[in-house]
Structure 1
Amino acid sequence: MMRSLGMALIVGAGLALPDRLEAQDQRSAVMAVVDSAMHFINTGEVARLSDLMTPEAQVYAASTRSGQPGYRMRTAESQRAAGRRDPIIERGFAPDIRIAGTIAVVWLPYDLYVDRAWSHCGVDVFTLVLVGEHWRIANLTYSIEQPPACRVHPDGPAPGTRGTPPEP
């Protein structure tokens, strides 16, 4: 009886291992898309960023101006038409990755510098869908804020930048 129970536990543990490995592979695949998106955002290659998106994808920028919350929206198509823009420094940190079957969400706090000077911080929220064997961005929504409404990068200011975030 004990031997049968031991074998069942070994076999059961072996069956669970591929599921854990597959889950880790999926997390890695999702983060590879997000990392690529961050690279293209930083280098100003917005047309290449749209290559990571579904054709119907949308990008929302949410912020508060003059006390009024609002947003701007672009489509993947308009993103592609923009071509290039000047490089920036956007640093994401502490990603929270959630995957359920063919959808994934990555919550990624970030800080951002323009012309090597502090601009803002916020959260990027990437919603991805599995298309065939590839993860694609269906939506990217990001907030534009100042501390204390958002967190600055735990490593402090980006190397080679000037200015610091406002004190909370």
Structure 2
Amino acid sequence: MKKILAISILTIMFINPGHAQDSKLIEEVISSLFVGMKTKNPELVSPAFHPEAIMHTVVSGESGGTLGSNSVQDFINRIATTPENIVLDERILEYDIKIDGQMAAVWTPYEFYVNDTLSHCGVNSFQMIKTPEGWKITYIIDTRRKDKCK
């Protein structure tokens, strides 16, 4: 069984070597977004997004979820104006990346900390496209919950 798995992985790497490179580049874009958020650096956050990107969040309610929205520019402004004594740290737990040509879907469970205290957890779902400037986030939707985080 281990031999079959090893052969399968090697076959995938040789058939589509660009896939591994694109996955790495996609992770770097998402990582830079959250490093920029933690360091309050809009110059790291802004380049991660396509100019027409959209942001949503699932707001949980007793009878189901509703959709909350936020503009990318508002998000960037909030990051840049976060008080100095507050650290916003979204920690990605894993990346599940699916790529088809110039499009990627990325599923990232996360934990969100404010000043090293767990605030909430959930999952981000990113839609990305490969542009001449590199991979860009076109859409994010996330969930947020305070229970079942660890």
Percent identity, please: 21
Letter in 2 for 1:112: F
Question: What residue is the counterpart of 1:99 in the other structure?
Answer: 99
Counterpart residue identity of residue 115, structure 2: D
Number of aligned residue pairs: 136
Give the equivalent residue in structure 2 for 1:32.
Answer: 28
Taking the aligned partners of 2:16 and 2:143, their CA distance within structure 1 comes to 33
Instruction: Tell me which amino acid in the other structure corresponds to 2:89.
Output: I
Distance 1:81 1:39 in 2: 15
Distance 1:94 1:67 in 2: 30
Could you say if the C-alpha distance between residues 43 and 67 of structure 1 is closer, same or farther in structure 2, counting changes exceeding 3 Å?
farther
Larger relative strand fraction: 2
Larger Rg: 1
Cross-structure match for 2:73: 77
Equivalent residue number for residue 132 of structure 1: 132
Q: 1:48 to 1:65 in 2, by over 3 A?
A: farther
Residue 113 of structure 1 deviates from its aligned partner by 1.6
**TM-score of the superposition, structure 1-length normalised?**
0.70
Output the CA distance in 2 between the equivalents of 1:74 and 1:51.
Answer: 17
| Paired residues of 1:96 and 1:107 also in contact (CA < 8 A) | yes
Contact 2:32/2:44 (<8 A) preserved: no
Question: Taking structure 2 as the reference length, what is the TM-score of the superposition?
Answer: 0.77
* 1:56-115 C-alpha deviation (Å, 9 max, x unpaired): 111112221455522321222333343332422221112111101111111010111213
The alignment partner of 1:140 has SS state of strand
Give 3-state SS (helix, strand or coil) of 1:123's partner.
strand
Q: What's the Cα RMSD here? A: 2.5
Q: Does 1:45 align with 2:41?
A: yes
Give the Cα–Cα distance (whole angstroms) in 1 for the partners of residues 111 and 77 of structure 2: 26
Structure 1 residues 90, 79: closer, same or farther in 2, change over 3 A? closer
Shift in CA distance, 66/47, structure 1 to aligned 2, threshold 3 Å = farther
Name 1:59's counterpart in structure 2: 55
